[in-house]
Amino acid sequence: MRVTTHSDYGLRVLIYVGLANGRMCKIQEIAESYDISRSHLTKVVWKLSEAGFLKTTKGRNGGMVLARAPEEINLGAVLRLMESRTSTVECFGPNNACKITSSCSARSIFREAQEAFFAVFDQYSLRELVARKSDLMRIFEMIE
């Protein structure tokens, strides 16, 4: 299974904000740090905020912080959220036009593979992604 850009960016946002020790982070700051699209990042942040992973504040002094401790942010839950509109194969999607879906044995194998993929991420939290804090902060030129 391939992780979408949306999921990749979601994890990157959580890593960056997780390193900030409660300091308000701005979308522009994160976009520049990763050299990625600000507009795409805005959608990602909105989704993470709606799901309760981020707490956002509007305004000039606004930004975002983690809504939970890093060890309480399960990576499997984040990926399920970010991948909710993505189908591993056509027969899992809303626009399934495959003629053999009702009799296809591959469907259950794909489902099992997808569940195994998420099960691996279920074993980890954001804490593991920010474990090398000093190295990551140096890369982002953050001050502890």
Average pLDDT, the chain: 88
Triad 128, 132, 135: Cα angle to 5°: 155
Please report whether residue 44 resides in a domain. Answer: yes
Residue 113's contacts (CB-CB under 8 Å, 6 or more residues apart) are 1, 88
CATH number of the structural domain spanning residue 15: 1.10.10.10
Is 71 within a domain? yes
- Stated pTM of the model: 0.85
Residue 106 lies in a domain: no
**Would residue 62 count as lying in a domain?**
yes
pLDDT digits (tens, 9 = 90+) for 90-116: 566 566 677 777 777 787 888 888 889
Residue 59, in any domain of the structure: yes
